[in-house]
Amino acid sequence: MNIGYISIGSNIEDRLYHLTEAVRALHLHDSVTVAAASSIYETVPVGYTEQADFLNMVVCVKTKLDAQELLEICQEIERGLGRIRDVRWGPRTADLDILLYNDDNIESETLTVPHPRMQERAFVLVPLLEMDSSIIHPVSKNLLSDEAAAKDKGVKLWKKINEVAYFVDNR
Ligand SMILES: Nc1ncnc2c1ncn2[C@@H]1O[C@H](COP(=O)(O)OP(=O)(O)OP(=O)(O)O)[C@@H](O)[C@H]1O
Ligand SMILES: Nc1nc2c(c(=O)[nH]1)N=C(CO)CN2
């Protein structure tokens, strides 16, 4: 079984609905189990800043899929939630990025893992470290908790829910 960490973000209302549906859709997939979830954080936009605040979280999945297949599932879920790609780093109903996949280092045309921008993104590091503060970056071999962005401001706890059941059994 493979272990992946996926970052989920939304800054188009209903943000909580979009996160919840994304987690549910991952878990309902025959070949994916959501094993753990972080709390939900409200975060100021990074990159393209003229947009609404995001809700962000991270989930840990167990899957027999390879990383490319997992990416395709993530993209299918984004499409199902009505994501339209226009502005780079712009508003989105749901964005699912693969942060880590086992300790693999993958560089293909469609997929780079570990996610190349994860260490500079507090909106990724804060929820990821809530789940496991001992994660080591598979390439740099540094403890992620030592990364400066993990201490960044602009990320505040929004809902302290970190039980998978909340996301998958709530209707
Ligand atoms: N680890 C990864 N997770 C998700 N997509 C990835 C990853 N590595 C490469 N990609 C590629 O990135 C492409 C663009 O993704 P997307 O539009 O979600 O970028 P973004 O969310 O706007 O920006 P960012 O990549 O900085 O988060 C996808 O089509 C996908 O093929
Ligand atoms: N706060 C925040 N900023 C972002 C986010 C995000 O999920 N949260 N996603 C981006 C593109 O992946 C660009 N900027």
Tell me the CA–centroid distance for residue 164 and ligand 2, in Å.
22
Statement: the pTM of the whole predicted model exceeds 0.80 = yes
- pLDDT by residue (tens digit) across 3-61? 999 999 999 999 999 999 999 999 999 999 999 999 999 999 999 888 999 999 999 99
Ramachandran class of 154: left when φ > 0, alpha when ψ lies in -120 to 50, beta otherwise: left
59 closest CA partner among 45, 48, 73: 73
CA–CA separation, 7 vs 118, rounded Å? Answer: 9
pLDDT band at 84 (very low <50, low <70, confident <90, very high): low
Residue ranges per structural domain of the chain: 2-168
Looking at the CA of 52, which ligand is closest? 2
pLDDT band at 170 (very low <50, low <70, confident <90, very high): low
Phi, psi of 62 (to 5 degrees): -110, 135
Q: Which CATH architecture has domain 2-168?
A: 2-Layer Sandwich (3.30)
Tell me the CA–centroid distance for residue 7 and ligand 2, in Å.
10
Looking at the CA of 152, which ligand is closest? 2
Tell me the CA–centroid distance for residue 126 and ligand 1, in Å.
20
- Judge if the beta carbon of residue 115 lies within 6 A of ligand 1: yes
